Structure 1
Amino acid sequence: MLGLLLLQVLASCLWLGHSEVVNSFESCPQFFYDGIPPDGALNPNNPARICQRFNNSYHYATLYDRVRRIPVYSAYKYQPGDDEKPPRKWMVEPQLIDRKSLPDMKFDWVLTNENIFTLDQIKESQAIPDDYNRLKDLDRGHLCPSGHQFSKERMMATFTLTNAVPQDKTLNNDKWNKYEYKTMPQKTQGCNTTYVITGAVHGNTYVSNNRVNRPSHIWSAACCLGDKEPKDAWGAIAENDRNRVEVVSLEELEKRLSDLYNGKVTLFKNACSQK
């Protein structure tokens, strides 16, 4: 009996170590308040759930739309620090190509130079850096931003294209940037832990020869905990062709997303206060 138990524990450990693209977020529930991800209204037809892993550690969680080649949302803990931002070198997710492949995110050129995958194989499963290199009025917009992470390693982990969408350049560099780096620090004062879910509503247009969807809206939701219990919650939403961000209640954000996704959206399963 003891031997069987040890085998079960070992099998469990091996599964957790190689489950970065997963059927559920059981390997990284720590990035969701109360361990509960948003409900099914946000799920695309062909989703990939990614426990974003870099240097053998999990850093945040992403629901990815394989068809549109953009993330639906990334969930993380807001933990800004003083480390200098790393160079902007973007990675891809090997396990979107093959679930048995490397568990950590990698540079596309590493995968091709080492003959692990061809460029066409990578392109079939996700966006690649070249999809963004020729865009004029759009940026690679982080959903989990590097500046919301406390260490250089965690910052580097945000530079994967499974965490980026084509975002209006002016919005990304002005009003959305101000929300991320001025509004968030103000609103999180007194919060011991803040859980964040930031997403993108898929749009009707594509870039890079119709490979990558251009979202219609960018949104974000935050759940602020005091000692242990929720003390505040809020949201933000922006149209992805205007330099304007609305900071709203969590309840109002969920109502708007429910309209945009044509189904009821509950981001924190009613576990966080709505003020």
Structure 2
Amino acid sequence: MLRLLLLQVLASCLWLGHSEVVTSFEDCHQFFYERATPSDALHPKKLARICQRYSNSYHYATLYDRDRRIPVYSAYIYGTGSGKKPHTPWFVEPSTDTFSSFYLAKLINETYLKDMDTESSIEKKYKITAQQIGESQAINQDYNNLQDLNRGHLSPSGHQSGNNSKTATFTLTNIVPQNSTLNKGAWNDYETKTMAEKTEDCKTTYVITGAVPGNTNIPNNRVNVPSHIWSAACCLVNKKRRKAWAVIAENDKNEVENLSLGDLEARLTELYKGKRVTLFSKACPR
């Protein structure tokens, strides 16, 4: 009887849309050019679609792999401007584990549910443990004592404008274990220098950055180490002109390979065992 009641509460709360782990990206479709999301070829067996919300606003969208505890990709609109790189604790997503008692407890408070929060805040508020929070997402202790790896953003703070948007990138659902030399070296050069050069004549630039699951995990065996990190951009120069570009990097080398959008989609199709990958709508040049 109690189980039935809990399931009824869950169904009711999901129908009301209380959770930002959503069945589609409709609430944050603005981060995808022409509302076109990447093809299902990238979908893991157990996924969560997250409209990343902080301070009562959406800042980007993430497709999350609940089994491997890494994001598949994050989609955002490139921007630079005011705001410094924040010094903030890492956040977790309030509701990636759909059927846990933790999830049901959180649905009680609508205001709390909508925004990402810290582990300590959630633990105190709902009297739960970090292990319960980590049932289907990474937690802080997963990233302790890493060797040759660090926390690699898919939606980086440097590509966001304003303090809240930058802060919103510091959630564990937006990072992967990335080779530390790559993260601080060639990949950082791409994020800071190449993107600035590529977007000089762009009015709006849509970006999708992702990670290909690898065959190894970090030492505690909970979080997957991606084999590749990739990124693609579709830029609107004016009403008639579009341009696109892409990069990919093996996650054990300090090298970034420049590609066309079409070449990246073809490469990802191979890496995902022949399932055809598309990242943007047909309007973006291949």
Flag whether TM exceeds 0.5 (same fold). yes
**Is 1:128 matched up with 2:173?**
no
Distance (whole Å) between structure 2 residues aligned to residue 35 and residue 183 of structure 1: 26
- Indicate which of 117, 139, 144 corresponds to 1:106: 117
Shift of 1:230: 4.6
After TM superposition, list the pairs within 5 Å mapping 1:219-258 onto structure 2: 219-258=230-269
Shift of 1:20: 0.9
Residue 71 (structure 1) aligns with:
71
Q: CA RMSD in A?
A: 1.6
Residue 32 (structure 1) aligns with:
32
8 Å contact from structure 1 (residues 69, 126) kept in 2: yes
- Indicate which of 119, 130, 150 corresponds to 1:119: 130
- Indicate which of 164, 176, 199 corresponds to 1:165: 176
Shift of 1:25: 0.4
State the 4+ residue runs in structure 1 displaced beyond 4 angstroms: none
Residue 80 (structure 1) aligns with:
80
Residue 42 (structure 1) aligns with:
42
Distance (whole Å) between structure 1 residues aligned to residue 88 and residue 251 of structure 2: 22
8 Å contact from structure 2 (residues 28, 58) kept in 1: yes
Q: Partner of 1:28: helix, strand, or coil?
A: helix
Distance (whole Å) between structure 2 residues aligned to residue 114 and residue 213 of structure 1: 29
Q: Which runs of 5+ in 1 are unaligned?
A: 1-10
Q: Does 209-218 or 129-138 show the bigger shift?
A: 129-138
Distance (whole Å) between structure 2 residues aligned to residue 15 and residue 74 of structure 1: 25
Question: Structure 1 length normalisation: TM-score?
Answer: 0.91
Question: Structure 2 length normalisation: TM-score?
Answer: 0.88
Instruction: Note the alpha carbon deviations across 1:40-82, whole angstroms, 9 max, x for none.
Output: 0000000100000011110000000000000000000001113
Distance (whole Å) between structure 1 residues aligned to residue 280 and residue 16 of structure 2: 27
8 Å contact from structure 1 (residues 132, 208) kept in 2: no
Distance (whole Å) between structure 1 residues aligned to residue 197 and residue 225 of structure 2: 30
8 Å contact from structure 1 (residues 237, 247) kept in 2: yes
Give the number of equivalent residue pairs.
261
8 Å contact from structure 1 (residues 221, 236) kept in 2: yes
**Is 1:265 matched up with 2:277?**
yes
Letter in 1 for 2:78: Y
8 Å contact from structure 2 (residues 34, 281) kept in 1: no
8 Å contact from structure 2 (residues 202, 235) kept in 1: yes
